[in-house]
Structures are given as C-alpha cells and as structure tokens.
Structure 1
Amino acid sequence: MTFAWPLALLLLPLPLLFWRYQKTVEDNTQAPIYVPGASQWQLGNAQVSGRVSSAAQAKWIMIFMIASWICFIVALARPQWVGDPIPLPAQGHDLLLAVDLSGSMDLEDMVYQNKRLNRLNTVKLVVRDFLKERQGDRVGLVVFGDAAFIHTPVTRDLESVSKLLMEAQVEMAGPNTAIGDAIIKSTDVLRDQPEEARIMVLLTDGANTAGEIQPLPAAEIAAKNGIKIYTIGIGADSMTRSSLFGLFNNTVNPSKDLDEKTLKAIAKTTSGLYFRAKNPEQLESIYQKINELEPIDQDEQFIHPVKEWFYWPLAVCFALYLLAFSIKYFDQIAERFNRFTSPQASRDGGNQ
C-alpha cells in the first residue's frame, strides 16, 4: 500500500498543537475568556443539557474524536493499492503473413532437427518462432491455393495466429497457387490499418497458376496502398528419389516450378526484398533478417493498476464522529424524545 498525497500526514499533530496553544493562552490569562463552542470537546468540560458529562463520557468522546481525525487525515492522504506492472502493447507493425497451401507444399524436401518434413510443416515451425519475437505487432494470416482467404484477421493475439497456422492443411484452399489474389486479399486487410508500417510476408513454392489477377498488377496496387512485401521462395534445389525397389536413385530439382523472377519483381515494386529458402536453416535466417529490417524498437512501457482505498478510512472517520456525537448529546436527545412522547402518553392514559 502507498499514499498518493503522503504530505497530508503532516496534519496529524494539528489538534495537539491547537490544544497546546489554547492551554498556553489560558495559563497566561488572569480572567477566563469564554468562546462559544471552543471547549465543547475538552476532556471533563463537555456540557450536555446544562450538566457536566461524566469523566468516562468525556474520555470516550476524546478517544473517538482523535481516532476520527486520524482516519480523516489518512483518507486525505489517499491510500492506494498498486498492483504488479502490466506491459503496454508496443506500437509495432501491421504484419500480414500470406502462406501458400497449394499441393506442392506437401513435398517432403526439408530436414528439420534431423526429421524429414514437408514444406508446410517446416514453415509452421519456423513462423511459430518468428511470431514469438513480434510482440507488439498486429499480425494477420492469409492462406491461398485456388483462391486467397483470410485465415486470421489482424490482431495482437499472436498466440491465436500461431495456433491457427499450425491447424492449416495442404490444399485446404485448393491445389493451385493464386499469388495475385493473395496480394489483393492482403491489401484489402492492410489498407484498413494505420499507415505507419504495413508489411506483408508472402511465402510460396511455385508460380501463379490460379486467381483472377496476375501478381505484378496486384503488387502495383499494394504499393499504391503503402504496403511493403517481402517475398520468400521455399523449396530445396535438389532431392534424391529412389526408383523401383530402390535399385536406382535419381536427383531432381523439386523447385523447378518456382517463379523467382516474379517474386523478385513483386518485392522490388513494393520496396521489399526477395529471399530464397532452400532449407529450414535458411528459412529461419530469413525471418530473422526480416526482424532486423523491421524492428520493434519502441521501449517497453508498463502500467501499474491502482485501486483507491481512501473511502474505507473516510467511512470509519464518519462512523467515529457519529459515535462521539451520540455520546455527547445522548442525554439531550433522550430528554427531547421523552418530551415528545410524554404528552402522547398522557392522552393515551386519559382515553382509557
């Protein structure tokens, strides 16, 4: 617990200073000076209905009044409970991941941590780690095959984006590759976001084979909307395949359909860069490079939740004051109550 206005606690001894000053004035004065109401709370001098209160009454009155004053000053100092610091979201980028789910993404030409994986599963694992370093960004996910679909809207909930990416399946959007449609769909999403940093990461392993618009005209539209596109071509450049019964092996290029020329042109048109990922290690380094090119450089800020507690001592203050008031004027209140009820009692007795 802490106090918002701790200097208010310096007022605690104020009644004591007033009492000592009043006592000094009384000692230096030959004749008494009567000030109406000035000594109504002094110990032993409380007057109720023309009679002197008992010493016990005056003692309790003084105790309650002192406690009431202490509670009032504590409330004035504004006691607060301050919680643990909560990080505020950093002002990062509006980042959209466009991931190819065409049939060729099922090709197992990637080795990740000594395990052979298909291209999509490799992308899932690498992007999952990439998202962990993008706290502060607003990230969305577009998947594309025969057409492009918004799989996750732009959000700060990166854990949900990662989870939905892990649930994506090859050919979920169709077996073909609509790169142009993916760019247009991403542009539709990002154009509604603030203009400071609209970033798109487009990952594919092939060429545009479907969709209603070609990639380069789509890239021009993206550029006009202030969107920077980083393109990534994924796929090994050689893979050994076994023939019938494993007697003969042949080496093939599994990435022969990758349209690097178009991917480079897309990146250039939108002031981005093109990267080639032939293995998982290169893909990891590419995403790390994107982290360096688009850093979240704002210092992390925190907020402390604050809960006010001043109303508790203030309520106790009023309760104690009412107790002191009740003790002081109890006899007077009782007497007035009896006066009010006595005529009524007399009339009731006469009617019987």
Structure 2
Amino acid sequence: MSWWNQFEFVFPWLLPLLVVPPLLYFWQLRREREREVSLRLPSTRSIRDMKGWRGMARPALPLLRVAALCLFIVALARPRLDLSEESVTAEGIDIILTLDLSTSMGATDFMPNRLEVAKQVARDFVSRREFDRIGLVVYAGEAYTKSPLTVDKAIIDRFLAELQMGEITDGTAIGSGLATAVNRLKDSPTASKIIILLTDGENNAGYHSPELAAELAKEFGIRVYTIGVGSGQETLMPSSPLGGGRYTFKPTRGTVDDKLLSYIAETTNGRYFRARDTEELESIYGYIDELEKTEIETTVFKRYEEQFARFLLFGLFLLLLETVLRYTVLKTVP
C-alpha cells in the first residue's frame, strides 16, 4: 500500500476552507493596487536599477501568511496515516488431484487431446486454491504419487505441465489411483479432505478394487469427486506407440464407466460429473472450486499515526518567518 493510499482526514469537510486564504490574498492585492498613486516621469531610466532584492522579495511576504493559514486548516482537518494491519487465519482443504494417464487420454475429441485439456483445467484450478494443500497422484496400469500434499502451487503446476502418456504401464487402474490418493490423505489432520479423480475409461488393471477404495475413503472422511471425460462419439484415439512419444491413431468410441464413478462419488458423499467437451470440464472444476470453500477468518487491528502536528508546526514556522522578515530585513519605512 502506498503512502498516499494510507493518508486520510478525520474532518475532511474542513478542507474546502483552503480556498479562503488565497481569495483573501487576491482581494487585498486588488485593494492595494486601487490605492496606488502613480508618479509620472519623463523617463524611468534613472530609477531602473533602484529596485533591489528586498523590493522584489517584499511582495512575497503575504504568500507566507497564506501558506501558513492553509497549513493550519489542513491541521484542523486532522490528517493521519492508516497503519491498520490484517491477520488472516485460514483453515485450508487438503486436495489430491488424481489423473488418468492411459493412452486413451490422447483422444482428439478434446483439442488438442483429453490429457492436455485436463492438465490445463487442473492448473487453473490449482492457481485459485490459495490456502489449500494440494497433492498429485497419477495412474494408468498402476499408480504412484507425483507430489505429496504441499502449499507450493508452483511445484504442482510444474508437475501437471510435465505429465505425459507413457510414464506408466498402460491400462486404467481406477482402484489403484483412488487407493493411492486415499493413502496420502488418511493421516491428514485437516477437517476437509477431498479427492478429484478424473478418468476416460473403465477399470481394467491394478490390484485394488475401486469399490473397496471408495469404502476406505468413506471410512477416513474423504469426499471424492469423480469426473468422466469423453464426448461419447467416435474419435481418433492412440492405438500403438511409435516411440518418441508418437502413436498411431484409429477411430474408436471410448466408454466411461458411469455406474462405477457414480458409486464412488455417492459412497463418499461426493458427486459424479460427466465432461463431454472442454467447456463442461472447466465448469465442473469451477463448480467444485465454489463448493469446496476454504474458511478464512480476517482480523483487522486498527492503528493510526496522527500527522496534524507536522502541518501545525510548519504553519507556525512560516508565520514566524513572515513576521521576522517583515520587521527586520524587509521592513519598510513610511
């Protein structure tokens, strides 16, 4: 916060009085000019150099008094600096993002593909969760923790950006992904613990039952939001790897196990969402963001620093200076 933004007046209605001293000065100046007596001379050459620095400085004396009066008015308005401080106490939410890295996530019904869209929407979501701890679990044929719970959003953002298909043995081990996420949250002391699990397929790999993992999540008070992605229409999907992160594609109609994902969500008091395009996926994350609000308590400590003495003292100084100059070096003799 800048110094000017912290500045305020207790009695700002006095500030319009600042126009009074200048108006009085110009009114007095006009009266003196009307009373001046002119002296006609055939030439002013003889008195051109008679006006010294005293003669030039003397007309400025009333300006010192005007400035002093203005400073007194400002002092009466009681200026002060607002030095208030805020103490923010936040009860954050622990969130584990659980993303599917199976090759079907390379399907092109989302542009450029499902995985890239899922990564970007998740990154946007993370950037909005200021006070929460966030972790990242990824899965395909098996699952592992990419990042434990952390408040360092830059780390999560970087890990999300780096995700690629082919990191893990192919498959869709929904149960393993969910169990790994539950394991990361079960010992958390935080009251609110959630998992956002995203997939585009059916459970076909892994050693953990998705239903059992859902029961474990419920036991540990973890709410699971499940998201099924895919247009449901025939689309180009990776089929065989060519090496170097390249794949051959073939037209395929992928399927999402809506029944299983709904069961997981209902068991854990969460909710199942279906995203058929990028806009739906963005709105789902936006809905979860609104639904899972972090509790923030803000306490404001009011503290002010009075500034009127500065203006008062400087005004007295100018008034004293004007008086001293008027009756010493700039004194006039009638």
Return the TM-score normalized by structure 1: 0.55
Q: Which residue of 1 aligns with 2:93?
A: 93
Instruction: Say if 1:235 and 1:254, in contact at 8 Å, map to a contact too.
Output: no
Unmatched 5+ stretches in structure 1: 1-82, 111-115, 242-251, 304-352
Alignment partners' CA distance in 2, 1:301 and 1:126 = 33
Structure 1 segments, 4+ long, off by >4 Å, are: 83-89, 300-303
Query: Could you report, residue by residue, the CA deviation over 1:168-204 in whole angstroms, capped at 9, with x for unpaired residues?
Result: 1012122101111111111111012114001000000
2:322 match:
none
1:242-273 deviation line (CA, Å, top 9, x unaligned): xxxxxxxxxx77332x1110000000111100
Q: Aligned letter for 1:171?
A: G
Task: Assess, with a 3 A threshold, how the Cα gap between structure 1 residues 182 and 85 changes in structure 2: closer, same or farther.
Answer: farther
Structure with higher strand content = 2
Using the aligned pairs only, state the percent identity: 40
* Alignment-derived partner of residue 66 in structure 2: none
The residue aligned with 1:278 is 276
Between the aligned partners of 1:178 and 1:273, the Cα distance in structure 2 is: 20
Displacement of 1:150 in angstroms is 0.4
Q: 1:137 aligns with which of 128, 132, 138?
A: 132
One of 177, 191, 195 as aligned partner of 2:186: 191
Indicate conservation of the 8 Å contact 1:90/1:135, yes or no.
no
Show the counterpart of 1:297: 295
Alignment of 1:328-347 (within 5 A): none
1:152 aligns with 2:152: no
Deviates more, 1:145-154 or 1:186-195: 186-195
User: How far apart are the structure 2 equivalents of 1:215 and 1:98?
Assistant: 13
Equivalent-residue separation in structure 2 for 1:173 and 1:150 (angstroms): 12
Q: Which amino acid aligns with 1:184?
A: A
Aligned to 1:255: 254
Letter in 1 for 2:281: L
> Cα–Cα, structure 1 residues 302 and 229, in superposed 2: closer, same or farther, change >3 Å?
farther
Normalised TM-score (structure 2):
0.58
Quote the Cα distance in structure 2 between the aligned partners of 1:118 and 1:84.
50
Q: CA RMSD in A?
A: 2.5
Q: Do the aligned partners of residues 210 and 302 (structure 1) sit closer, same or farther apart at CA in structure 2, a change above 3 Å counting?
A: farther
Query: Of 208, 212, 219, which residue of structure 2 is paired with 1:213?
Result: 208
Matched residue, 2:304: none
Alpha-carbon shift at residue 290 of structure 1 (Å): 0.4
Given residue 165 of structure 2, which amino acid in structure 1 is its aligned partner? V
Correspondence for 1:108:
108
* Cα distance between partner residues in 2 of 1:132 and 1:85: 26
1:141-177 C-alpha deviation (Å, 9 max, x unpaired): 0000111100011011112101101101012122101
Cα pair distance change 1:209/1:159, threshold 3 Å: same
Q: Mapping of 1:1-352 within 5 angstroms?
A: 90-110=90-110, 116-239=111-234, 254-256=253-255, 258-300=256-298
**Cα displacement (A) at 1:217:** 1.1
The alignment partner of 2:296 has SS state of coil
CA gap 1:301/1:140 in 2 versus in 1, 3 angstroms: farther
CA contact (8 A) 1:93 1:197 kept: yes
Q: 1:178 to 1:301 in 2, by over 3 A?
A: farther
Q: State the match for 1:37 in structure 2.
A: none
Tell me, in whole angstroms, the C-alpha distance in 1 between the residues paired with 2:185 and 2:114: 26
**In the aligned structure 2, how far is the partner of 1:125 from the partner of 1:190?**
24
Tell me the distance in 2 between the aligned counterparts of 1:97 and 1:227: 13
Structure 1 pair 163–238 and aligned structure 2 pair: CA distance change class (3 A) = same
Q: Residue deviations 1:201-241, cap 9 Å, x none?
A: 00000011111011111100111111110000011122466
Q: CA deviation at 1:108?
A: 1.2
**Distance (Å, rounded) in 1 between the aligned partners of 2:299 and 2:133:** 17
1:23-64 per-residue CA deviation (whole Å, 9 max, x = no partner) reads xxxxxxxxxxxxxxxxxxxxxxxxxxxxxxxxxxxxxxxxxx
State the number of aligned residues: 208
Q: 1:103 touches 1:174 (CA, 8 Å); kept in 2?
A: no
How far apart are residue 84 of structure 1 and its match? 11
Q: Are the equivalent residues in 2 in contact too, given 1:200–1:230 (CA < 8 A)?
A: yes
Larger Rg: 1
Q: Which amino acid aligns with 2:147?
A: T
Displacement of 1:297:
3.5
Give unmatched runs, 5+ long, in structure 2. Answer: 1-82, 237-250, 302-334
